[in-house]
Structure formats: structure tokens, C-alpha cells
Amino acid sequence: MLIFSILPLLKQFFLLIMYKYFFFLFVVFTTTLSAQDIHYQSLLIKPELTADANAVVRNEEIEIEIEAVDKLTIRTRRVITVLNEHGENHIEAYDFYDDNSKIKNQEAIIYDKLGNEIKKFKKKHFEDRSAVGSGTLISDDRVKYMEYTAREYPYTVVYESEVQKNSTVFVQAWKPIAGYYLSVERSSYILKNPAGIPLRYEEKNLSGIEVEKSTSDFELSYSVQNLPAYNYERLSPSINNFSPHVLVALNEFSLVGVQGQATSWSEFGKWQYDHLLKGRTTLSPETIAKISTLTSDAEDNIEKARRIYQYVQDNTRYISVQLGIGGWQPMDAVEVDQVRYGDCKALTNYTKALLESQQIQSYYTVVYGGEDKTDIDKDFPSMQGNHVILNIPSEGEDIWLECTSQTTPFNYLGDFTDNRNVLIIKPEGGEIARTKIYQVHENLQETFSTITLDEKGAFNASLKRRSKGVAYGEIYHINRQTEKDQTLYYKRNWGHFKNMNLEEMAFTNDRDDQEFTEDLKFSGDRFTSKAGNRLLLPLNFLIPETYNLPRNEKRKLPLEISRGRTFEDTFEYLLPAGFEPESIPEYTFLETDFGTFELSVVIKAKEGAKTIQVKRKYVINEGLWPAESYGDFRNFMYTINSLSNQKAVIVATQ
């Protein structure tokens, strides 16, 4: 529901979305198909390349020619062997186009495993359809793709295309390994720059692999051979953090007809401001008057900003329209004011305009939105990001506004845009800044529950849970669901309660403090289990949120926990009449690099009856650990599970 709505689409439309959703290009290739320069026999692939691979890039040749500041051609020739059905998505026999780019040539040949040609696709055989992602209302993006059903595996596809673009602000990067379970026999990249337009490039993760390269002002050339496939491993960093790639940007460029020049973030930001943002924040006198009235009795600028943000949330909705320059330039504030919808750029710019009308300074800020934290590369000024938020400079910590959500609290980023480098665009130029970090103690979920047990095993519970920080963003939506869905949410999430019956649900959404409280009353059956005249009482009334991790003795990638979390739970059990505690587990405290776990169980007396009070504190730290730590982390998780799983024994006294 946010912004660019990237998350739900990631699986199918990853490239497609990145493409226009803002910046970032995608590419492809070279000369005409000739059958001799490589053996297309799938059977000849080296075993180290088929290990963990669903497909093998046999030979990829990308040639980019910068013909002018507003013209570049990408020629792709990609020979790929698909080893099994899961390898189909690595074929990438498609190209995107729009009103500012065109596919000049496209063809493909399929070879069977023995290298015999079995099918040929000429330009007209490629399917053509619009590439409007499901989060977008409209865009001019289209895609032409090959549709082929394989009869057997392995088989080899030779794909060639030539694409011409007017926008040179994006230069396709070299990324030989585009995903998991894909190995590379050979991949090469040549960028020709006959006009000598000044350019910059940045090499990433090339150390440790053998790369042939030559670079000059007029040509860049890279090639690599025999890169084995990466296996996807749980809780590992995003593939871009370790896979080799080379980024390229021109110092003089064009974006849908708008030319520019930049070598630093300051210049790049200045160009964006001057050509895409400037003069788009004018508002009608009526609107200004309305906003002035709205904020007239506010005590300070923060309060004014808060009211304006609320006004935007109450009066607009998110609609993504990406046509031509509109993929990069916000809709005029006047227009948004009239139609009351817009995409992230439009709504951010509109909010900025409303703030401006009250002399509150704010800045349009470009970011990579997504649960995976991706930085704007501070060392490589170029068109980056896929989303826009608003920055309000403030004493102490800056204020950040997500303008596409109608429900997010003022100054709440959550896990979509937290803790990452962003580009703040000021009239005088661009600046890299870091968004708010949600520290481990801020991402707090705190539960207090009183559970009344009966001698048959049934219980009645009242439970209060407070969620803050990132946890707030995950739960507050429940407030607006139907009662039926709310009930089902608890029944599904707390499936260990048998015959759960929710009697009362009340929610408090404190948007100012960004704290969400659930107040629940519910009952259930068979919580305790009978063992002779004793009852076994599980102490983990709520099961701690641990990771269920596979064994992996061959772990290769580092372990990453992207956000710390703190859980503090208090469960107070009121024993049934006539029962006494017989045994309770000992106090435990575990401390590791990854976090801590503390469990204390004490017997108390309350109004004449016996109670067992369980206090559990579980902290998981944010961090990056070497692959060897994976086993220890997994043990930590399982230890927490078994400690939480302990039971008290209660016994009937009569």
C-alpha cells in the first residue's frame, strides 16, 4: 500500500518495477546470431558450474555504445543453458521499452542438449504487452518477451537484442550474476564512448575474483569466467552486497530530453532540483488560506507540520502514474491540490508545498524503499533510488514524512525507509543523509497477561500488548480490519491455543507516541495437560518469535539480522482452587553476541490463591556476523525455544 508498492511485486516483476519506478535501467546486447563461437551442447558444462545452479550463463556479451549525450545503444547477446524448470526465470529473453526507447532488434534460438537448433524466434515472434505493475495505475512501459515451453532439460537459449535509448542518465551496469542458483561461464561488458563524454565507474565486490579489464576515457571493458552459483541462505545480506558488479554513470547526460551535468551528489541534486522540482510548489490562494487557518493556533513549526501532514493524509490518496518525464518529475502541487491523488513524488512535493506556504522548510528526498535496507551509494553520484520521502530539518533529529500512506504517524518511517543513506535535494544541491535508526530497545513489544486456570485445563486470559518502533508498523493496521478478520488474526497467530474464544478486543493507536496497544480478553481449552493428579502448565503463554532455521553446515554467506528487537513478557498464572505448585524451572539468563534471553519463574500469593509469575525478556541484536556464526545463532534460537517450552507442575492438594 505504500508508495511504489514494490514488495508484493518483487517476485515476478523485480526488474520491471525497478525500471521505471524511478531510475535504474536494465539492459541487454551484440551482433547477429552466429552458431559457431560457442558449443551449445549443455552436456559440456563444467561440474563446478552446475553445482547449486538452475541455469548457467554460457556467454553473455553486453556492448553499450554512448553515441551522444542523448543517445545510447545496448547490444546484448546472452547464451544461457537452463538446467531445470527453476532456471527458466534466468533466461531473460526480454527487453523493456517506452516512449523514449525502442527495441531495434530482438531474436532468439533454442538449442537442445546436444546443441541441435530446435526453434528460432525472429523479431515479430516476441510477445508485446504493457508492463504496468500491479501497484501502478498507468505507465508507458512495455515489454517484448519470448514465450517458449521447454520439452526437456537442459536446453540452451541464445538471445540477442539491440535497444536504443534517449535517456543516458542510466547506463546499464555490469552484473554478471543476476541472482541465486545462477552460475557464469563467461560474461563480458564493453562500454564504448567514442565521443569521450566524461564518465565515472565504480567496481563492487571484484576482489577475490579474476577479472580481465581495461579502462580508458573512451572504452571500458570487463570480463569474467567461471563464477559458481550462489546458494540462497536464510538471513544473509542482499545479493548486491557480495556479487560482483560495475556501475557506470556519465557526467553529462540526458533524461527524457532533459539534459544535465554532474560529478558530485551536490551537482546531481542541484540538477534534479533545477530541472525536475523547481517551480512545482505553487498553490492557490484559497488553499494557502485554508492551511494558514488550519495551523494558525499551532504553537510551533513541528505542530504545524503535524497538522499539515494530517491534512495530506485526510485529503489525498496514492495513485501511481508514470508517463514520460512524469516517471521522474512530480506532478505540480496545484494539480495534486485539485485531483487529490498522486504518486510518491507528487504527494511528497505537495506536502512540501503546503509546508512552504507556512514558511516551513522541507526537502524532497530520494530513497530506496523496501524492507531490505539499500543505501543510495554515497560514493557514486548517479540516478538512484525508487521512492521519495520528505525531510524536515529540525533541531536534534530531522523529521521524515512518508507521504503516500494515509495512516502512518507523523515522522514514522518503519522498516520501509529506516536506517539508510538517502539523497536530500536542496535548491543549492544534493546531500547524502542517513534516515532514522530504530534501535534494539526502541523496537519493543511488551506483553502483560493474567491467566486464570481451572482444574480441567481451560483458561481465561486478559492480555495487554504494547508495540513500538518497527513492531508498531507491523501491527497497527489491525485496527482497521473487520472484527472477523481481527479474530482470525489472533487465532492464526496464536494457533497453540485450543478452542480459542476472543471475548473482547480493544485497540489504542497512539499516533503521537507511535505506540499501539492491544487489549484482549479471551479463553481457551486444554491449556494445561493432565498427568495423573498433576497438571503440566506451559510457561510460554505466548511463543517467542524465533527464527526457524535449517541446518547448514556448509554455510557460505554471512549472517545478517537487519533490525534488533526487544520482547518483554509477563505472564501471571492464577492456579485453580486447591492446586499448589510442585515444581518450577530455574532462573535462566543467556547472553550471546546475538542477543540475550532471560526467564524467571516465581511463585506468589495473590488474594489467598497461589500464582506463578513468568517474566521473559528476549533481545535480538542487529548485526552482521561471519558465516561460521550461523550454527551458534541457530543454537541460540533452539535454546530459546526449549527454555520457553518448559513447564511448571501443579498438583491438587486434596
Footprint of other proteins (CB under 8 A)? 52, 84-86, 118-119, 127-130, 132, 137-138, 147, 149-152, 314-317, 319, 321, 338-341, 406-407, 480, 482-484, 487-488, 491-492, 495-496, 498-499, 526, 529, 531-532, 536, 548, 550-552, 582-583, 638, 641-642, 645-647, 649
Shortest separation between residue 136's beta carbon and other proteins, angstroms:
10
Q: What is the sign, positive or negative, of the torsion defined by CA atoms of 379, 380, 385, 388?
A: positive
Which CB atom, from 363 or from 573, has the smaller least distance to other proteins?
A: 573
Shortest separation between residue 399's beta carbon and other proteins, angstroms:
22
Q: Which residues of 434-459 are buried (b: 16+ CB within 10 A; e: fewer)?
A: ebbebebebbbbbbebbbbbbeebbb
Which CB atom, from 262 or from 539, has the smaller least distance to other proteins?
A: 539
Which CB atom, from 216 or from 548, has the smaller least distance to other proteins?
A: 548
DSSP string, 313-349: HHH-EE--EE-GGGGTSPPPHHHHHHH-EE-HHHHHH
Which CB atom, from 88 or from 377, has the smaller least distance to other proteins?
A: 88
Which CB atom, from 205 or from 646, has the smaller least distance to other proteins?
A: 646
Which CB atom, from 201 or from 494, has the smaller least distance to other proteins?
A: 494
Which CB atom, from 174 or from 416, has the smaller least distance to other proteins?
A: 416
Shortest separation between residue 151's beta carbon and other proteins, angstroms:
4
Shortest separation between residue 530's beta carbon and other proteins, angstroms:
8
Shortest separation between residue 642's beta carbon and other proteins, angstroms:
5
Is there a contact between 395 and 343 (Cβ–Cβ < 8 Å)? Answer: no
Shortest separation between residue 290's beta carbon and other proteins, angstroms:
10
Is there a contact between 248 and 220 (Cβ–Cβ < 8 Å)? Answer: yes
Shortest separation between residue 582's beta carbon and other proteins, angstroms:
7
Nine-digit cell at 370?
Answer: 523496501
Shortest separation between residue 148's beta carbon and other proteins, angstroms:
8
Beta pairing class for 171-174 and 245-250: antiparallel
CA angle 627, 632, 633 (to 5 degrees): 80
Closest CA to 333 of 293, 288, 274, 296: 288
Q: What is the sign, positive or negative, of the torsion defined by CA atoms of 341, 362, 302, 465?
A: positive
Nine-digit cell at 229?
Answer: 552459483
Pairwise CA distance, residues 571 & 506, whole Å? 19
Closest CA to 32 of 103, 105, 83, 93: 105
Q: In which residue are the cell numbers 512524469 written?
A: 326
Q: Which residues is 74 bridged to in the sheet?
A: 64, 163
DSSP string, 475-494: HGGGGGS-HHHHHHHHHHHT
Share of the chain residues as helix, strand and coil, in percent rounded to the nearest 5: 20, 40, 40
Is there a contact between 10 and 131 (Cβ–Cβ < 8 Å)? Answer: no
Shortest separation between residue 80's beta carbon and other proteins, angstroms:
17
Shortest separation between residue 624's beta carbon and other proteins, angstroms:
23
Which CB atom, from 254 or from 320, has the smaller least distance to other proteins?
A: 320
Cβ atoms < 10 Å from Cβ of 321: 16
Which CB atom, from 35 or from 137, has the smaller least distance to other proteins?
A: 137
Shortest separation between residue 490's beta carbon and other proteins, angstroms:
9
Cβ-proximal residues to 54 (8 Å cutoff; 6+ apart), any chain: 82, 83, 84, 86, 87, 90, 181, 182, 229
Which CB atom, from 140 or from 356, has the smaller least distance to other proteins?
A: 140
Which CB atom, from 367 or from 403, has the smaller least distance to other proteins?
A: 403
Pairwise CA distance, residues 474 & 419, whole Å? 17
